[in-house]
Amino acid sequence: MTSDGAPGAGCRRVSDDGVSFRDLNANGVLDPYEDPRLPIEERVEDLLARMTLEEKAAQLFHQGLGVPDDGTVSDEPDGFTQVSTLGLVGLGLTHFNIYWAPGPEVLAQWHNRVQEAAERTRLGIPVTISSDPRHGLGDNPATSMAGSGFSQWPDPIGLAATRDEGLVREFADIARREYLAVGIRLALHPTADLATEPRWCRASGTFGEDAEVAARLVVAYLRGMQGETLGAQSVACMTKHFPGAGPQLDGEDAHFPYGREQVYPGGAFDYHLIPFEAALEAGTAQVMPYYGMPVGTEHEEVGFGFNRGVVTGLLRERYGFDGVVCSDWGLLNDTLLAGALWPARAWGAEHLSREERAAKVLDAGVDQFGGESCPEVVVELVRSGRIDEGRVDASVRRLLRDKFRLGLFDDPYVDPDRAAEVVGARAHVERGHAAQTRSIVLLGNARGLLPLRGAPCVYLRGLDVAEIPAGTVVERPEDADVALVRIQAPFDPRDGNFLEALFHAGRLEFAAPEIAWLLELMEQVPTVVDIRLDRAAVIPEIAAAAAALLADFGATDAALLDVAFGRAAPEGKLPFELPSSIESVEAQLPDLPYDSRDPLFPFGHGLSYSDAPIASPPPR
């Protein structure tokens, strides 16, 4: 195809007998690895035998990229990763994780241009494009991306609040169709971690703290994305972060040195394996270990990507997994982000050289290095005799097998016009909106204020709307019958490197000055409070004073208003408990689920509108 998606020189085409071939093939001879009539294993072995050591080493790197707004592909470094797409393709890299991206039509055009560049290389190995989640409302380039035209759904923790496997599978199927339309063939999700430590900043990407609930929803997710088997209409899934990234010491995250330790004081290491066992049984194509290093277990105290006992001992041998294992991003090299140095996440292996780290990762049983590109390191390890080339072949074999199973060698291109129709299609947006309303949890409604009835005068804060479904928006609380307020769960802003500032970590309670205005408002007028829970929060004073209390896990103002005015009913149940005090958080064990003392709202709490009498609009 040309850069506009039309057929052109150098593309894969299909002959009258259904055989896929490249029109640049010498003398029109079809190489076995390009023949779809042959078994995949034969095609893999044929291609592997043709590859140089340098070409093999390049497969072992999965670099991140920014996609330009105009969809061009050039030799110029991009503005985020400071790497050149064409330069990486020229090095033989064929796995790219995209960060920011333009709208669907331009993204599809960019994808086709990258595939054209790959096809012009010696072996024409097609590119696999991967992505972190793009359908939620959270926006953190280290974990998820919002926007770019994709339909909007609750974050995974909100899907968990519905407890609905059918809804999760429907979401994953719609996400699959939208990904396919723009050329994304590998999902760097689902996240099978358990949010057992309430302070951990990545709870929003999980399915909560209950292992059985998470296991059921992870399987539904995989079925919607991959199907029953991996094929040309699948998006492969990289389930993460084995063996479970939830029990972080003091809730800090292993992206950063102060959060490198994972601890199991409750002896619940195996509890965190339950969702991964379900994912492996369901056939997840790939697995990602986390950055964290286990402390006080039988395993070596090094990050899981370096940990042979975990990757080979548990994942490969105990569970028999022979799919791709890709490390989390940046285990080998320090990174310069926005002028600040972000050290390699080589926890427990900081003292090793880059070459020694790479060797330890490969020795652990990992196939691919995420987020960086230094294939020359692998080449040197083989030529020096430190790593056997057969070890490299084993990983390349797994990586190529997924490309063949996904049909990339037969037709890697997409239709940009169709991408514009499929991504963010009206039906997808409507289903996402409905899922947002269903995921909202009614925490408290003792006065029966919700749903709002009649035509009240409403004071809004934290909502960006000019109209409401019924009644009138007023500018002053004193003119209102009811106030409707949206707030974000509390956290400690971090002012470290670029990414550190994006994670909501630290304290779970509001400082008194932060909510003085809210407490004053609730005394002045009956107030409905909605709190966005990207992780747990300690909010006893708000719960006591609010006329009604809602929690959302990624919902638009429109979705909240539909619930508040009764056009949709809140169905959600808390996917994690809300503790009653910070002291109870500090006393609970980070590896055990729902174990804080006297929680304000327990795991699974969630009311319906039928649980309280309907109140008339309060008098003005």
Instruction: Tell me which residues are annotated as active site.
Output: 328
The DSSP letter of residue 132 is: S
User: Is residue 181 within 8 Å of residue 104, measured between CB atoms?
Assistant: yes
Residue labelled with tokens 């959600």:
572
Tokens matching residue 196: 């057992």
Type of residue numbered 41: E
The span from the first CA to the last CA of the chain, in angstroms, equals 66
The dihedral sign for the CA sequence 9, 14, 20, 25? negative
Neighbours of 540 (CB within 10 A): 13
| Strand pairing class (340-342; 368-370) | unpaired
Element (H, E) at 112: helix 104-119
Element (H, E) at 98: strand 95-98
CA dist., res. 82 & res. 76, Å (int): 9
User: Is residue 87 within 8 Å of residue 75, measured between CB atoms?
Assistant: yes
CA dist., res. 552 & res. 533, Å (int): 6
Residue labelled with tokens 């090299």:
333
CA dist., res. 152 & res. 159, Å (int): 12
Count the residues in the chain: 620
Q: Which candidate, 580, 603, 583, 605, places its Cα nearest to that of 592?
A: 603
Q: Bridge-partner residues for 187, per DSSP?
A: 131, 237
CA dist., res. 349 & res. 354, Å (int): 10
Rounded to 5°, angle at Cα 28 from 25 and 31:
60
CA dist., res. 491 & res. 500, Å (int): 13
Q: Do you find a cis peptide bond into 451, omega within 30 degrees of 0?
A: yes
| Strand pairing class (286-289; 324-329) | parallel
Residues contacting 133, CB < 8 A, separation 6+: 143, 144, 145, 155, 156, 187, 188, 189, 205
Tokens matching residue 83: 């790497």
User: Is residue 204 within 8 Å of residue 237, measured between CB atoms?
Assistant: no
Q: Which candidate, 189, 95, 87, places its Cα nearest to that of 145?
A: 189
